[in-house]
Amino acid sequence: MIIERFGSRLSVSFAPGSERIEAVLRDAERQIAAQHARMAGLSTQVGGLINGNVRLVTAALVLILQQGLASGRRFCEWGCGLGGATCAASALGLEARGIDIDAGRVARSQALAARHGLPARFEVRDYRAANDETSAALTPGASRQSWWTASDIIHVYPWPSEAVFIETLFLEQTPDEALLLSSYGPGEVRIHRKTHLDGRGRYAQRRRPPCTHSIRLTWP
């Protein structure tokens, strides 16, 4: 795995650090493989689901915890899919929650957490509705900054067309010290602070061929 920082690269080894976390990762990977197998014979793709690299996201979370990069331990995954990253975050001791627009995926995420006795929580919710105060994303009388935007670490795997929206949502709705942990393809995860984002979605632009299994820290 390559961690790129200050324009230089450091080769590091990553081990999840506990049998429990490794068990969660293996289970999540099995769940993803099974989902891919189900999709293989379909003539159309299952809309809205891209499975990221759960081990790489876990490695980024370990780095965040080891380096004390986050201001707190609240983690939320926008578009949690099958729940692997959220469950890994929970196994690492973070207060982890995941949201997804698809009730079936939320059910599978909940089952993954239950199999490993994790307190991770999941809800059917559409993060794209965050800027609409009249939408179901906010319950009557709720604060505009709801729990899923008030997290210290936000993980998202954005569609390329949503990069600007995701960045704008993150800048407007999350705490000042929040981190955006963004998956960009199966082999790259980037960690951003708000002060290094400009609302143009440029963090999702590929400037060079991606390293295999890499993490980029985008602030000095």
Q: How would DSSP label each residue in 139-208?
A: -TT--SS-TTTS-SEEEE---GGGHHHHHHHHHHHS-TT-EEEEE-STTEEEEEEGGG--SS-GGGS--S
Class of domain 2-6+50-132+146-217: alpha beta
Distance CA 100, CA 126 (A): 6
Nearest to 145 by CA among 124, 123, 173: 173
What pLDDT was estimated at residue 205? Answer: 66
What pLDDT was estimated at residue 77? Answer: 95
Contact 163, 204 (CB under 8 A): yes
What pLDDT was estimated at residue 50? Answer: 63
What pLDDT was estimated at residue 135? Answer: 40
The tokens for 188 are: 């790259």
**What residues contact residue 92 under an 8 Å CB cut-off, 6+ apart?**
21, 58, 61, 62, 65
CB atoms within 10 A of CB 6: 9
What pLDDT was estimated at residue 134? Answer: 33
Residue 145, CA distances (Å) to 12, 44, 115, 135, 196 in order: 37, 36, 31, 14, 21
What is the pLDDT tens value at each position of the chain, 220 positions in all? 666 654 556 555 555 558 889 999 999 999 988 877 776 655 444 445 566 789 889 989 988 998 888 999 999 999 999 999 999 999 999 999 999 999 999 999 999 999 999 999 999 998 877 555 434 443 444 444 577 889 999 999 987 788 889 999 999 999 999 999 998 877 888 899 888 788 887 777 655 545 556 777 654 4
**Three-state SS at 51:** coil
